[in-house]
Structure 1
Amino acid sequence: MYQDVYKAIQVLPKGDLADLKRCNLGAIANSPAYFRVLAHAKVADNKQTQRILYLLLHSKVETSGEGVSVALALIQAGVKERQVIQLTRSGDNSIDYLKRQLVRCKGINLDSLGKLAQFWGDNARRQLLKEFIFANTEKLEAN
């Protein structure tokens, strides 16, 4: 599903892309460009699609499969553990906090970001924190 949304974003005209980037998560569903993405990607109009589109618009993803997981991308971008903990505890605003951190990241694996956005909730936030801490610990042990 997220691969289809990503492909649809790539063929959007610049005006529609700019319109979507100006929208917050709540307003994205009322944008005409959102419906163009739905029509091109042939996906359902639901919260999962809105979250996927919202995060993909503001992230630099790697489609070839060589990208890194979201947790590793956050570490490479210099995101601190306390910021990820804040993200996991922020409830309804957590997707906005995640987007702010993802703007700093490069080379995120499309599948990793897509699955995180699709299944965003308490469990996904907990899993992100777990992966972040494990990856950070492995990095410290390697040094």
Structure 2
Amino acid sequence: LKHPDFEITYEIVGFKTFITDPVLLGSLFDNLAENAYKYSNPGSKKLSISAKLIKGVLVFRFADKGIGIPSSELNNIFKKFFRIQNEYNQMGSVGLGLAFCKELVNFMQGEISVKSKVGVGTEFKIVLPYNS
């Protein structure tokens, strides 16, 4: 990502490498990071990414300080063509990004979930099998 005003921090715990498809994982990470940037207010564009090996699975967390997602919308965000109506989503989105992320994670035999609070931020959690 090439946004000079975007601060990304990383934490990796419990492993150094793992076997996966780098194109799929890169597409997943790029999409989640772009969403974090797009749905954050100017001056607070921050993303914290953690990767931890826990009980034989890799747990990735993407936590931002963005505008958040209303709880009434959380069940729909992984559906194709679903878009939350807000001032950040007026153009440039067709509602496929998170559906694509879900498909990628499913293809990699993992799970993706989200928790969010309006005005506080959003955290995506991805659990993938660990293949050393």
| TM-score normalized with structure 2 length | 0.29
Higher strand proportion: 2
Higher helix proportion: 1
| TM-score normalized with structure 1 length | 0.27
